[in-house]
Amino acid sequence: MTTTLQTPIFTLMSDFVQTLITALAIGSLYALIALGYTMVYGILKFINFAHSDIVVLGAWSSYTLAVRILPWLGLDPHNPATVPPFWVAAVVMLAAMVLCGVVGFAIERLAYRRLRRAPRLNVLITAIGVSLLLQNVGQLNFVFGASPQKMPALLPSWELASIAFGEGESARRVVIGLIDVVIFSLATTLMLMMQYLVFHTKLGVAMRAVSFNTDNAALMGIPVDRVVSFTFVLGSVLAAAAGFLYVMKYPSMNQPAHAVWVLLGLKAFVAAVIGGIGNVRGAVLGGFVIAFVEQFGAFYISSNYRDVYVFALLIVILLVKPSGLLGSPVREKV
């Protein structure tokens, strides 16, 4: 009698915990991507539209690498039962990070640096151009191709913990998989490293100085060009990690120019804006806020409108507190 009465409560609780776990995993990915947006915005004051394409590049290059490495080890990449050794995942991720770092450096060097003094709108249009370029070069047959692929599993599908709600046969179980834990812990580690870098190292001081006032920073002997390049590389490396982790969690990969990727990048940007763009801690906060709104909205209201919630939240935040949750208001100077 008591168990039958309690079942709906268990259902509610298990649904809640399940959504919570997904939101934490996705939120840490959004936060990783948002960090790249927010750092570039903080220093150069423009939205790097191409950042979401760096995420895609990270995802697709790790796919390409994984498909090349696995047969070399004598494993079939298209067999879902294959479990490669742990170092494969690490190598693939590091290689993707290096590649994206190089591409990020090249983009800044070739396109954005010449526009350092140009009106912001011009830089924005250039960023859209770079984004279109990356998307469509990625679609070419001899690059990644235009057909969707399935990422081979690089991590074993272990269940680290299983929480049971209710008793006996009718119990509902919520499973915490290895991938969720890896995403969350890796993302948190990277974010803590970022935090340390920005607030406790000399390079971080230089980054904050350039962000505060580029000309004065240059006068104080800070190599502005090198700091900006470093920021781009750092953001791209984080984006690559996020791209890799994203396809580990959701193995079905869309073609490089697919709307899903652009939306992923856009939501991360929304996260950066909501947290207060230019603010490193704000980006992390925003990433989790966005993920919670999206996941809980999708589960409890309607999953069809999951993108609408995010943009609605963005518009509300921009109208109520345009500088974001943790951002400081900017005063217009004449």
Partner 1 sequence: MAKAPNSAQIWTSKTNAAGSASFSDRDSGFVRNTLAGLMPFAVGIAMASLLHFLLPGMVGLYYSRIVTDIGIAIIMAVSLNIVNGMTGQFSIGHAGFMTLGGYMAAFTSYYGSMCLWGNTEIHGGFLGTGEWLFVVSCIVGGLLAAGAGYVVGLPSLRLRGDYLAIVTLGFGEIIRVILQQTGKVIESAEALKTGGLSQMIPPPVGGALGFGGVPKYTNLFWVFTILTVTLVIAYRLKRSSFGRGMISVREDEIAAQAMGVNIARQKVLAFVIAAFFAGIAGGLFAHERGVILSPKDAGFQRSFDYVIMTVLGGRGSITGVMLAAGLLTALPEFLREFEQYRLIVYALLLIFMMLVRPQGLLGIHEIWDLWPRRRTTLPPTASLMHSSTMPSQESKR
Which of 173, 148, 136, 170 has its CA nearest to residue 257?
136
Q: Which of 124, 163, 203, 205 binds partner 1 (CB under 8 A)?
A: 124
Number of residues written out for the chain: 334
The single residue listed with the structure tokens 């209201």 is 301
**Of 246 and 269, which CB lies nearer to partner 1 in the complex structure?**
269
- Rounded Cα gap, residues 161 and 178, in angstroms: 9
Residue with Cβ nearer partner 1 (64 or 135): 135
Handedness of CA 300, 306, 310, 315 (dihedral sign): negative
Residue 116 C-beta: closest distance to partner 1, Å: 10
Each residue 130-149 as x (binds partner 1 by CB under 8 A) or -, in order, gives: xxxx-xxx-xxx----x---
Residue type, 16: F
Based on the shown chain and the rule CB under 8 A, indicate whether residue 125 belongs to the binding site for partner 1: yes
Q: Is 71 exposed, middle or buried (0-12, 13-18, 19+ CB in 10 A)?
A: exposed
Tell me the number of residues near partner 1 by CB under 8 A: 52
- Take residue 90 and report the two structure tokens written for it: 């690490």
Among 71, 129, 148, 223, binds partner 1 (CB under 8 A): 129
Coil/strand/helix, residue 301: coil
Q: Which helix (DSSP H) or strand (DSSP E) does residue 142 occupy?
A: none
Using CB under 8 A, which of 85, 300, 305, 328 touches partner 1? 305
Nearer to partner 1, 202 or 333 (CB): 333
Region near partner 1 per CB under 8 A, out of 93-101, 160-168, 179-187, 264-272: 264-272
Could you tell me which stretch among 25-33, 44-52, 201-209, 221-229 binds partner 1 (CB under 8 A)?
44-52
Q: Is 119 in the site for partner 1 (CB under 8 A)?
A: yes
Q: Distance between CA 230 and CA 278 in Å, rounded?
A: 16
- The radius of gyration of the chain's CA atoms, rounded to the nearest angstrom, is 21
**Which residue, among 48, 55, 34, has the nearest Cα to 276 in the 3D structure?**
34
CB of 312 to partner 1, least distance (A): 8
Single out the residue of 67, 182, 262, 325 in contact with partner 1 (rule: CB under 8 A): 262
CA pair distance 200, 273, nearest whole angstrom: 24
For position 209 contacting partner 1 by CB under 8 A, the verdict is: no
Measured from the Cβ of residue 310, the count of other Cβ atoms closer than 10 Å reads 22
| Shortest CB 10 distance to partner 1, Å | 31
Which positions ≥6 away from 12 have C-beta within 8 Å? none
Position 174 contacts partner 1 (CB under 8 A): no
Q: Min. distance of Cβ 216 from partner 1 in angstroms?
A: 11
Three-state secondary-structure class, residue 263? helix
Q: Does 318 bind partner 1 (CB under 8 A)?
A: yes
CB of 129 to partner 1, least distance (A): 3
Cβ proximity of 50 and 37 under 8 Å:
no
- Hey, which residues between 269 and 288 contact partner 1 (CB under 8 A)? 269-270, 273
Summarize as ranges the residues that interact with partner 1 (CB under 8 A): 45-47, 111, 114-115, 117-126, 128-133, 135-137, 139-141, 146, 213-214, 257, 259, 262-263, 266, 269-270, 273, 304-305, 307-308, 311-312, 314-315, 318-319, 322, 332, 334
